[in-house]
Amino acid sequence: MTLELVTQNKVAGGWHKQYTHVAKTLGGCNMRFAIYLPPQASSSHPVPVVYWLSGLTCTDENFMQKAGALKTAAELGIAIVAPDTSPRGEGVPDDENGSYDFGLGAGFYLNATQAPWNQHYHMYDYIVDELPALIEATFPVSSQRAIAGHSMGGHGALTIAFKNAERYSSVSAFSPICNPMNCPWGQKAFSNYLGNDRKTWEAYDASLLLAKAESVVPVLVDQGEADQFLAEQLKPETLEAAAKRGGHTLTLNRHEGYDHSYYFISSFIDEHLRFHAQFFKGL
């Protein structure tokens, strides 16, 4: 698979690079991702990877430029991969009204089943299968993976980890959409991407998946108490209840005064990287 280098910058002793490639799982559209390779990464010393899934309207650039994560990633010897949030390009459908919470920039990390979205909107397959295979075949990284995300990306990280415990050593999220079946963002996305049969929505609801899971990887969630989307869209209490019903351990930290922004993420991203480092072998 051909990769095209877009930009590269040395940072914290390692390299931040952006690439584009044609994504088969997304109907052949051209996708961009960013990777940070810490200074320890080499062919003789492959490093583990944290996959970061961003939220609504974001691209690969939001996390890499705003989170302030790269110095700690360099210290720990962890690579970070940040994909885009949806398929892009000519012929990829978007919301006809141009709304921010559906269509381009709002792929919700699922496999769409409804036309016209089902041709390109297979972000679940892209994140779980195609992208890691590409990363591990191209860069000096190991098959050790963790997954993390923010908001819509937090939803994606949690659901992907709960459905694929054998693929990830840990999962973390900032301000995740915890119960999308029962919030406006999720209901809009699911009804369009998946249709009106709510039973099919359950495969992408973190709270339902956690309640039913036989076992889960270690889970860390941070939530700001001043988040403007907390009550209507995020609903972390549903994740807590699900963990209790399923008998699973969940670390959910609530932070007074913090909102939904990258100011919040940058305040606690180091703790998340150190959390994941605990479960990577050889670090």
- pLDDT per residue, tens digit, the chain (283 aa), is 689 999 999 999 999 999 999 999 999 999 999 999 999 999 999 999 999 999 999 999 999 999 999 999 999 999 999 999 999 988 999 998 889 999 999 999 999 999 999 999 999 999 999 999 999 999 999 999 999 999 999 999 999 999 999 999 999 999 999 999 999 999 999 999 999 999 999 999 999 999 999 999 999 999 999 999 999 999 999 999 999 999 999 999 999 999 999 999 999 999 999 999 999 987 7
Catalytic one of 16, 122, 155, 260: 260
Annotation: CATH topology of 3-264: Rossmann fold (3.40.50)
Place of tokens 């609903």: 235
Instruction: Specify whether the CB–CB gap between 260 and 229 falls below 8 A.
Output: yes
How many angstroms separate the CA atoms of 239 and 105, rounded? 25
pLDDT score at 2 = 86
Active site residue 260: yes
- Give tens-digit pLDDT for 194-238: 999 999 999 999 999 999 999 999 999 999 999 999 999 999 999
How many angstroms separate the CA atoms of 86 and 271, rounded? 27
From the list 65, 64, 97, the residue with the least C-alpha distance to 79 is 64
Amino acid at 272: H
Task: Find all residues with CB under 8 Å of 198, minimum gap 6, and list them.
Answer: 181, 190
Active site residue 172: no
How many angstroms separate the CA atoms of 278 and 201, rounded? 33
From the list 266, 156, 180, 162, the residue with the least C-alpha distance to 219 is 162
Place of tokens 């974001």: 58
Instruction: Specify whether the CB–CB gap between 165 and 215 falls below 8 A.
Output: yes
How many angstroms separate the CA atoms of 215 and 236, rounded? 20
Q: Could you count the other beta carbons within 10 Å of the beta carbon of residue 244? A: 12
Catalytic one of 60, 84, 222, 227: 227
How is the chain split into domains, by residue range? 3-264
Instruction: Specify whether the CB–CB gap between 47 and 141 falls below 8 A.
Output: yes
Catalytic one of 60, 120, 150, 151: 151
pLDDT score at 1 = 62
pLDDT score at 21 = 97
Active site residue 227: yes
